[in-house]
Amino acid sequence: MFDSVGWGEILVLIVAGLFILGPERLPEAASWLAKGVRKVREFASGARQQLQDEMGPEFEEFRKPLEDLRQLRNFDPRRAITNHLFDGDPDPLGLNGTSGGSTKPNGYPAISAKPEPETLKPGEKPPVDPDAT
């Protein structure tokens, strides 16, 4: 219900309610709001239960396409195309063994052409590149 409302917005609403209603009427207003939300939830669950009772087994057939549509919210086109082209193989080119298992932030394997530089010993000065400075 509160997918797009964060804690900051809720805090602002509480503070605004405190200023508008005052501290003596705020608990009563919160109680009224909680009862209203509870009543709406009861109506919704009752309507769903009544629909399920009247439709019987056909309710699941009706509900299946709605669940499929709900899953489209998490749709990732890149993953869908990769799964389609490579039949779900997570490593179609066999590159996982070449990089030691490390990956870039975008998910692709990190392939380094040059070896890692050696660490400096205590007291050793770093190399200087005059063209870079």
Residue type, position 8, single letter: G
Report if pTM > 0.85: no
- What residues are paired with 103 via a beta bridge? 109
pLDDT on residue 71: 77
Q: Is residue 101, in this structure, part of any structural domain at all?
A: no
Please count the structural domains in the chain.
1
- What residues are paired with 109 via a beta bridge? 103
Span 38-43, average pLDDT? 94
Confidence of residue 92 (pLDDT cuts 50, 70, 90): low
Is the distance from CB of 104 to CB of 110 less than 8 angstroms? yes
Q: Is residue 112, in this structure, part of any structural domain at all?
A: no
Which residues in 21-47 are b (16+ Cβ under 10 Å) and which e? eeeeeeeeeeeeeeeeeeeeeeeeeee
Q: Is residue 51, in this structure, part of any structural domain at all?
A: yes
Q: Is residue 11, in this structure, part of any structural domain at all?
A: yes
Kindly report, residue by residue over 102-124, the tens digit of the pLDDT. Answer: 556 666 666 655 666 778 888 88
How many angstroms separate the Cα of 86 from the Cα of each of 5, 14, 53, 105, 124?
39, 52, 44, 21, 50
Q: Is residue 124, in this structure, part of any structural domain at all?
A: no
Structural domain of 22: 7-86
Is the distance from CB of 72 to CB of 65 less than 8 angstroms? no
Query: d(Cα 81, Cα 61) in Å, to the nearest integer?
Result: 28
Q: Is residue 127, in this structure, part of any structural domain at all?
A: no
